[in-house]
Amino acid sequence: LSDRLTSTFKNLRSKGRLSEADIDATIREIRRALLDADVAVPVVREFTASVRDRALSAEVSGALNPAQQVVKIVNEELVAILGGESRGLRFAKTGPTVIMLAGLQGAGKTTLAGKLALHLREQGHTPLLVAADLQRPNAVTQLSVVGERAGVPVFAPHPGNQSGTEVDDVIGDPVAVARDGLETARQRQHDVLIVDTAGRLGLDSVLMQQAADIRDAVTPDEILFVIDAMIGQDAVTTAKAFEEGVDFTGVVLTKLDGDARGGAALSVTGVTGRPILFASTGEKLTDLEAFHPDRMASRILDMGDVLTLIEQAEKAFDADEAAKMAQKLESGQDFTLADFLVQMQQMKNMGSMKKMLGMLPGMGQMREALENFDEREVDRIEAIIRSMTPGERDNPKIINGSRRARIARGSGVTTADVNQLLERFAGAQKMMRQMNKGGGSMPGMPGMG
């Protein structure tokens, strides 16, 4: 009996705190998951410290075991840092909305320019793209191609000259091009201007200054820092450099179609506090999504199954029932067969998640209890209890031999089944009394302290 019901009884303990040992064990796993996801080390350190603090002061949950509860806190904190509710683009009240893109070379700025242009055009806007990356002649060509695909015009310094000379040299003044682009947008009544800029492979003070000059020339409503999700541990230095060099209002994470677990998302938001607006998920212009902090949190944690399970466990566990039960026990009332049935039903709800338990860290007792748990058992127990008279339910001690036989017949089970249920119930009742007396701790039960 005790093994099977341990976790259910454990759920009843509505008071108390998570133990430091439980918390630290789970935090170790979380730290590993975050580092695997390439979240920057200092961000991991700060993050796990704050989760630990929160877990230490958290009320013990009725529905979750300690490991699950810590994971839940971790997930909530992750979602909060990643931006809570995601926000969309901010538009200017008057005149063209200016969106400037900044980031390292290869981050996906030019591709994003096309994606945003298409996205905005489909929403009824009339964007104009500006090619302010004059670092390579090909950059202008690339933006022209992207603009054509998106069905959006491109403002470029040499629209006719796309011969693709191999000279890696400046072919114009990007600041002037950006300024002229804005003027053109005003004249032709484009309501959005998207400014593509140049980036180097590493951090480069000349290009950073150039980006700042472009910024000052067009005073953007949004400066989007575009960052490759695969950047790994460099995310923090890169984000900081762009924050200092140009500053930005939002972030776009690219190449999320790849293997990267997205630790960069946490690194960047953790360090700069700027929201992530979009996720880029492929090379096609339609591969652009609004950023969902909750999805990213579960990708970073790589514990999607655990998170699903936590959600279901909380749903399955009827908090009201638990509160009622706790109150009842506290007021000195006895644990009855009806209470017993409620608990068995809760176990049945949990039992339907049995399949997923294999993936769970730190589920020891719960897993064991549920593996032995036969869902049909609840139906049998329910039938037996329903075959009892109210007097028998209130006071099972009066159930003698002939009553047992009657109950067995009425519920379609054997007398031995009735006996077994009564024994189990008597044991459960005894435990509940002890628990009630002992202020919640159950003697002789491992992991119940």
Cα 77 from Cα 90, distance rounded (Å): 25
Closest by Cα among 89, 110, 100, 155 to 128: 155
Site string for ligand GDP, 8-47 (x = CB under 6 A): ----------------------------------------
Partner touching 111 among Mg ion, ligand GDP, none, CB below 5 to 8 Å by kind: ligand GDP
Characterise 275 by phi-psi region: left (phi > 0), alpha (psi -120 to 50), beta (else).
Answer: beta
Which residue number, 193 or 428, has a Cβ lying nearer to Mg ion?
Answer: 193
Interacting residues with ligand GDP between 333 and 352 (CB under 6 A):
none
Site string for ligand GDP, 238-267 (x = CB under 6 A): ----------------xx-x----------
Cα 361 from Cα 306, distance rounded (Å): 8
Which residue number, 10 or 255, has a Cβ lying nearer to ligand GDP?
Answer: 255
Q: Is 109 annotated as a binding residue?
A: yes
Cα angle at 129 between 127 and 133, to 5 degrees?
Answer: 160
Closest by Cα among 431, 436, 429, 434 to 331: 436
Q: Is 184 annotated as a binding residue?
A: no
Cα 297 from Cα 316, distance rounded (Å): 23
Question: Up-side HSE of residue 189: CA atoms within 13 Å toward CB?
Answer: 0
Site string for ligand GDP, 100-139 (x = CB under 6 A): ---x-xxxxxxx----------------------------
Helix (H) or strand (E) holding 112: helix 109-122
Interacting residues with ligand GDP between 190 and 219 (CB under 6 A):
199
- Spatial strand order of the sheet with 288-290 comes to 154-155, 127-132, 192-197, 97-102, 222-228, 250-254, 276-280, 288-290
Give me the least distance between CB of 282 and Mg ion, in Å please.
Answer: 17
Q: Is 257 annotated as a binding residue?
A: yes
- Strand ranges (E), 171-304: 192-197, 222-228, 250-254, 276-280, 288-290
Give me the least distance between CB of 105 and ligand GDP, in Å please.
Answer: 4
Helix (H) or strand (E) holding 427: helix 415-437
254 near Mg ion (CB under 5 A): no
Q: Is the dihedral of CA 280, 285, 290, 294 positive or negative?
A: negative
Partner touching 199 among ligand GDP, Mg ion, none, CB below 5 to 8 Å by kind: ligand GDP
Give me the least distance between CB of 103 and Mg ion, in Å please.
Answer: 9
Q: Is 181 annotated as a binding residue?
A: no
Which residue number, 69 or 110, has a Cβ lying nearer to ligand GDP?
Answer: 110
Site string for Mg ion, 104-123 (x = CB under 5 A): -----xx-------------
Using CB under 6 A, which of the segments 59-67, 268-276, 281-289, 411-419 binds ligand GDP? 281-289
Give the residue numbers of the binding site: 103-110, 196-200, 254-257
* Residues within the interface to ligand GDP (CB under 6 A): 103, 105-111, 199, 254-255, 257, 280-283, 287
Give the residue numbers of the binding site for GTP: 103-110, 196-200, 254-257
